[in-house]
């Protein structure tokens, strides 16, 4: 009998409390993070440890690789499934031990004098690929007309050239502003009534570009790309794209007019969660979102387009009842032969190869989709995005160590990790205002899902495939569509029903989505030719404003506490009716006299 087996047998012979004391003394004599690193390396070098039944890993079942998708490499041990506490109706409750699920790494304060200088520097973005000027000269040239609407009393050289929009304003003599929809890095969006339109396109979404040269170019690129795709795609494929209705230049500002869709997925799940309404993104609806997103990506990738900015805010609801969605915002997209920058994707959804400075392709969209699906189901960001270092530490914790070739070839890897072969993959960066060395824990996607009451092995396998650290191991969008998790379900979601006893928040959603009042009825158009349930966004404008104000995506603690006090003291109805300043206004008037700059 080996010494390891003898120690194991001795521990098994002890009472649990005595065994814990022995292990505690042993851990006290060693550095905890050193133990974790040694264990992690042992698992990676010997995958049998991960599959050992009844051994020290808890005997968690292995996920079976699928023939239609690249095999999963053993990167981290499958932790024993957690049993989430539930309420009397069987719905999972928040964890009583949040550190177990929410903490993916330890942060050890460290002096800057003990850290290599490169790890303290902020790297500049890098570019991949070379522009082929000869190919560009030979490529066909496309064109499209764009109206320039001008005011003879405005030269464009005024001190303030930004376009200021107010509710009930008429833009270019045609678009009546109804309400504010949102704001991003490059534009504001408003809901308008097209005074020259009728039927399905009487009500539209107007994007108002912010007025700088770079931003105008970025928004104009989105128009050019959608025009190009419309020429390349067949009619069925074009249905996955947002419908571009108009584009014009007015008062030194670019305006882009789209079909009016509904709320984005972030607003939907956040509103439902804050108002304590029944969970919308069940496993079945997450499957439906996955299918539609993958179908869109198949069409994009086939036409050599990388979206590069997939996130819940860029996926809009077309129908809440049938869970029909559409991917939007192509301003950050790249064509496959473009010279590509490393500063792409929102940080929480940024693929490892992008962070580490490797050349990337369409597989970055697959990574983002995996993050999105987990976020929809859990209501939380999957990876910690406080800093690039915390993001990478979270990647390692849930998906295992990065392959050596990614550290070797990544142009930015040495700014975050010690890239010496065999060196522990810990990171140095700011954490809670202090310089810290981050030591990743060991967990898994299955463990996260189990924490939220889901022990679906195929779901865990599907997400694990999308979130392979090595992009070469990730499936294509077409391969992912044939995964058993998507093939094994009917594709039809149960109706989302809200009863009267749930309060004002439920009544408000039902008034915006009338088909919810009759679960057996198909969605009815509100005006001739419109295949939508109703007009405008479903969630209150005041709530939408709050989402953008607190959206740094870190979900700041003081904001959570504020919502918690409102939820406990006033109930969901009060949350739905009151805006974040505390004044009570109904939805249609919540932006009266508000100026968007």
Query: Catalytic residue positions?
Result: 309
CA distance 92 to 229: 43
Nearest to 487 by CA among 455, 452, 458: 458
Nearest to 391 by CA among 445, 341, 340, 355: 355
**What DSSP letter does each residue of 198-217 carry, written as one string?**
-GGGSEEEEEEE-SSHHHHH
Residue 331, helix vs strand vs coil? coil
Q: How far is residue 107 CA from its own chain's centroid?
A: 25
Is residue 199 within 8 A of residue 530, CB to CB? The reply is: yes
Dihedral sign of CA atoms 145, 149, 155, 157 in order? negative
Count CB neighbours of 369 within 10 A.
Answer: 27
DSSP class of 516:
G
CA distance 341 to 123: 13
CA distance 560 to 581: 15
Nearest to 274 by CA among 504, 571, 556: 571
Nearest to 167 by CA among 175, 155, 159: 175
CA distance 97 to 463: 24
Instruction: Output the six-digit token pair for 580.
Output: 């974040």
CA distance 24 to 273: 40
Main-chain dihedrals φ then ψ at residue 31, nearest 5 degrees: -75, 125
**What DSSP letter does each residue of 236-302 carry, written as one string?**
HHHTTS--EEEEEEETTEEEEEEE----BHHHHHHHHHHTTPPPS--HHHHHHHHHHHHHHHHHHHH
CA distance 267 to 516: 18
Count CB neighbours of 216 within 10 A.
Answer: 17
Nearest to 464 by CA among 474, 476, 477: 474
Place of tokens 């041990």: 77
Main-chain dihedrals φ then ψ at residue 362, nearest 5 degrees: -65, -15
């Amino acid at each position: 009998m080996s010494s390891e087996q003898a120690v194991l047998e001795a521990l098994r012979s002890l009472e649990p409390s005595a065994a814990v004391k022995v292990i505690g003394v042993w851990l006290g004599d060693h550095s905890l993070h050193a133990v974790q690193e040694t264990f992690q390396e042992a698992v990676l070098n010997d995958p049998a440890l991960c599959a050992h039944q009844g051994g020290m890993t808890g005997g968690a079942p292995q996920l079976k690789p699928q023939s239609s998708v690249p095999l999963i490499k053993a990167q981290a041990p499958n932790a024993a499934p957690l049993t989430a506490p539930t309420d009397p109706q069987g719905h999972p409750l928040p964890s009583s031990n949040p550190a177990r699920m929410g903490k993916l790494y330890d942060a050890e304060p460290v002096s800057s004098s003990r850290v290599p200088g490169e790890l303290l520097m902020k790297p500049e973005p890098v570019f991949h690929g070379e522009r082929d000027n000869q190919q560009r000269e030979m490529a066909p040239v496309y064109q499209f007309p764009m109206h320039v609407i001008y005011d003879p009393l405005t030269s464009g050289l005024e001190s303030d050239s930004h376009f200021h929009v107010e509710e009930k304003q008429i833009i270019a003599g045609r678009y009546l502003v109804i309400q504010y929809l949102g704001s991003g890095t490059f534009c504001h969006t408003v809901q308008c009534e097209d005074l020259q339109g009728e039927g399905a396109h009487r009500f539209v979404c107007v994007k108002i570009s912010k007025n700088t040269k770079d931003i105008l170019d970025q928004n104009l690129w989105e128009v050019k790309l959608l025009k190009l795709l419309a020429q390349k795609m067949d009619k069925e494929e074009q249905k996955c794209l947002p419908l571009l209705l108009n584009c014009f230049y007015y008062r030194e500002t670019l305006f882009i007019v789209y079909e009016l869709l509904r709320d984005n997925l972030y607003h939907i799940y956040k509103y439902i969660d804050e108002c304590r309404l029944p969970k919308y993104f069940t496993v079945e609806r997450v499957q439906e979102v996955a299918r539609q997103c993958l179908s869109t990506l198949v069409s994009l990738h086939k036409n050599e387009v990388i979206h590069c900015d997939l996130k819940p805010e860029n996926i809009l609801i077309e129908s809440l009842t049938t869970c029909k969605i559409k991917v939007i915002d192509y301003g950050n997209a790249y064509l496959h032969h473009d010279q590509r920058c490393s500063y792409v994707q929102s940080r929480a959804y940024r693929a490892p190869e992008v962070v580490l400075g490797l050349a990337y392709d369409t597989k970055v969209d697959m990574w983002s989709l995996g993050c999105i699906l987990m976020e929809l189901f859990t209501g939380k960001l999957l990876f910690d995005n406080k800093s690039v270092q915390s993001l990478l530490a979270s990647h390692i914790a849930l998906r295992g160590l990065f392959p050596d070739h990614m550290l070797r070839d990544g142009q930015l890897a040495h700014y975050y990790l010690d890239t010496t072969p065999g060196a522990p993959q810990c990171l140095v960066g700011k954490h809670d205002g202090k310089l810290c060395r981050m030591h990743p824990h060991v967990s898994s996607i299955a463990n996260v899902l189990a924490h939220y009451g889901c022990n679906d092995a195929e779901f865990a396998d599907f997400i694990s495939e999308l979130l392979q650290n090595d992009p070469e191991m990730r499936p294509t969008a077409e391969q992912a569509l044939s995964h058993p998790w998507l093939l094994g379900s009917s594709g039809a979601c149960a109706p989302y029903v809200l009863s009267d006893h749930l309060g004002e928040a439920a009544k408000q959603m039902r008034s915006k989505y009338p088909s919810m009042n009759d679960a057996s009825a198909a969605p009815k158009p509100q005006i001739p030719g419109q295949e939508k349930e109703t007009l405008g966004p479903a969630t209150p404008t005041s709530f939408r404003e709050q989402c953008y104000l607190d959206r740094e995506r870190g979900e700041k603690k003081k904001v959570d506490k504020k919502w918690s006090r409102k939820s406990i003291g006033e109930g969901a109805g009060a949350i739905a009716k009151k805006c974040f300043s505390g004044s009570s206004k109904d939805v249609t008037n919540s932006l009266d006299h508000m100026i968007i700059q």
